[in-house]
């Protein structure tokens, strides 16, 4: 369905190694996504070219930001159709993957998807602000990721409680990521985090004439201390008074 050669080439432009076997599994992912999208609203992007660039290449740009330690535990918060968590685990099979989403029907899809692409996974049906307070998930992960979920101050409150001290939160944002990072200073300080790295990504790196492009901002927040017990707050308080 997708152009696997192009996907491998696009990833290579960013120094991201993607095997042909991994690309084939992402092709299976694309086919299942289109099939299931006819039954439920998983994504607005279902054309092969769009999926290669906006789903798979975009997700995999976070790969160089992960710790090199083997067996990294990663929770993808508000994972939706599995981005970026599932592509990252396909490209790097040592990842111990957890996918969290508030809609059970998405988790039904993700269960079938992960079985089809041979990715071991733990599925969590919960809202982020609820899951982050549970002892079995709180501060248990080396990495938390989130893509297009909420503004960064709110996203920090959703995600940093899952990350152990010394771990990191990778927020995948659009072109306004730097502005969001400035606005998130108070939230990071309260929640035990600090900015570590910002990567600006232009997709694709070498566009062809007339080809659609997009700008992305990847923000890495280091977890420097324990998140105080009062966070995350209930969703109504988060919405009414963002940090």
Asked if the structure places residue 22 within a domain, the reply is: no
Asked if the structure places residue 47 within a domain, the reply is: no
Asked if the structure places residue 59 within a domain, the reply is: no
Asked if the structure places residue 58 within a domain, the reply is: no
pLDDT 10s digits, 52-73: 999 999 999 999 999 999 999 9
Contacts of range 40-49, beta carbons closer than 8 Å, 24 or more positions apart? 40/105, 40/106, 40/109, 42/80, 42/81, 42/106, 42/109, 43/80, 43/81, 48/1, 48/2, 48/3, 49/3
Per the prediction, the chain carries an average pLDDT of 96
Asked if the structure places residue 126 within a domain, the reply is: yes
Instruction: Please report which helix (H) or strand (E) contains residue 168, including its range.
Output: strand 163-173
HEC readout, 51-109: HHHHHHHHHHCCHHHCCCCCCCEEEEECCCCCCCHHHHHHHCCCCEEEEEECCHHHHHH
Task: Please give the span between the terminal C-alpha atoms of the chain, in angstroms, as a whole number.
Answer: 43
Lowest mean pLDDT among 78-82, 206-210, 222-226: 206-210
pLDDT at 21 (0 to 100): 98
pLDDT at 202 (0 to 100): 97
Asked if the structure places residue 42 within a domain, the reply is: no
pLDDT at 95 (0 to 100): 98
Which parts of the chain fold into alpha helices (H)?
4-13, 20-37, 48-50, 58-60, 85-91, 104-116, 128-131, 152-159, 177-183, 185-191, 235-240
**Above pLDDT 90, what percent of the chain?**
97
pLDDT at 46 over 90: yes
Asked if the structure places residue 218 within a domain, the reply is: yes
Asked if the structure places residue 21 within a domain, the reply is: no
Q: Tokens 């906006």 map to which residue?
A: 54
Q: How far apart are CA 238 and CA 218, in angstroms?
A: 23
Q: How far apart are CA 20 and CA 4, in angstroms?
A: 7
What is the domain extent for residue 216? 68-240
Residue 28 burial (10 A CB sphere; 0-12, 13-18, 19+):
middle
pLDDT at 149 over 90: no
pLDDT at 210 over 90: no
Confidence of residue 14 (pLDDT cuts 50, 70, 90): very high
How many distinct structural domains can be found in the chain? 1
Q: How far apart are CA 12 and CA 15, in angstroms?
A: 5
CATH number, domain of 227, equals 3.40.50.150
pLDDT 10s digits, 111-135: 999 999 999 999 999 999 999 999 9
Q: What is the pTM of this model?
A: 0.97
């Amino acid at each position: 369905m997708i152009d696997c050669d192009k996907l491998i080439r696009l990833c290579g432009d960013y120094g991201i190694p993607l095997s042909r076997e991994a690309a084939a599994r992402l092709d299976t992912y694309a086919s299942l996504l289109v099939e299931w999208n006819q039954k439920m609203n998983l994504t607005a992007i279902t054309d092969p070219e769009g999926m290669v660039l906006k789903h798979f290449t975009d997700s995999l740009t976070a790969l160089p930001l992960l710790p090199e330690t083997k067996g990294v535990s990663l929770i993808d918060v508000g994972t939706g159709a599995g981005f970026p968590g599932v592509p990252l685990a396909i490209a790097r099979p040592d990842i111990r993957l957890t996918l969290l989403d508030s809609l059970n029907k998405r988790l039904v899809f993700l269960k079938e998807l992960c079985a089809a692409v041979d990715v071991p996974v733990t599925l969590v049906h919960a809202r982020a602000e609820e899951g982050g307070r549970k002892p079995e998930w709180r501060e248990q992960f080396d990495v938390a990721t989130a893509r297009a979920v909420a503004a960064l101050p709110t996203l920090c409150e959703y995600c940093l409680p899952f990350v152990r001290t010394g771990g990191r939160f990778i927020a995948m944002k659009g072109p306004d990521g730097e502005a969001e990072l400035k606005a998130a200073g108070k939230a990071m300080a309260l929640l035990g985090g600090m900015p570590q790295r910002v990567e600006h990504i232009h997709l694709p790196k070498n566009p062809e004439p007339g080809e659609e492009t997009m700008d992305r901002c990847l923000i890495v927040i280091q977890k420097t201390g324990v998140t105080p017990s009062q966070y995350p707050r209930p969703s109504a308080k988060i919405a009414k008074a963002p940090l």
